[in-house]
Amino acid sequence: MEILDLILGIVQDGLFAALAAIGFAAISNPPRIALKWCGVIAAAGHITRYCLVNYTPVGIVPASMVGALAVGLLAIIIAKRVKCPPETFSFPALLPMIPGIYAYRTVQAFVLALTAHTEQEFQHFFYLSESNCLTCVFVILCMVIGQMLPIIAFKRVAYTVTRPDEKER
């Protein structure tokens, strides 16, 4: 039963990430074929991060970098086949990975610090606010870097995906 719960958790994480990415992609009006690939790429990136965080000793910051790297690589591979810029796939696929709970906890702890009655209480809540803020900022920074590395590394491929192949000319 334990292995089934493990697989179900992974599939559930990927499915929800895919649905969110398709929703985020739909508001920017990409070609229809791009929507399903946004979902696939988001699921792969989010599952990568989920597995690293939950089943290895890797923290959320480096796991987000590896997940974003997977998103960037898959976006370049799919972009070549679909003839869309890789950003069409990678940006919506990264949005479900944004650490909203850390941003929420940052604001919550900051408000609690402002309403604290003692210095010790203020320091505690301010520490929580700083900790959550730093986690949120570094996760987002690593996601940006991880997603951009494949585009920089494969610049020629990334910037020519919308051009027709030599055979098509």
In the chain, which residue ranges form alpha helices assigned H by DSSP?
Answer: 2-26, 32-55, 60-82, 86-94, 100-114, 119-153, 155-159
**In this predicted structure, what is the pLDDT of residue 167?**
58
Query: What is the model's pTM?
Result: 0.87
**In this predicted structure, what is the pLDDT of residue 168?**
53
Return phi, psi of residue 17, to 5°.
-65, -40
**In this predicted structure, what is the pLDDT of residue 132?**
96
If we measure between CA atoms, which residue out of 53, 40, 55, 33 comes closest to residue 96? Answer: 40
* Cα–Cα distance, 68 to 34 (Å, whole number): 18
Q: Spell out a b/e string for 78-96, using b for 16 or more CB atoms within 10 Å of the CB, else e.
A: bbbebebbbbbbbbbbbbb
- One digit per residue, pLDDT tens: the chain, 169 residues? 698 999 999 999 999 999 999 999 999 888 888 999 999 999 999 999 999 999 999 999 999 999 999 999 999 999 888 888 888 889 999 999 999 999 999 999 999 999 999 999 999 999 999 999 999 999 999 999 999 999 899 888 777 877 766 555 4
DSSP code at position 161: T
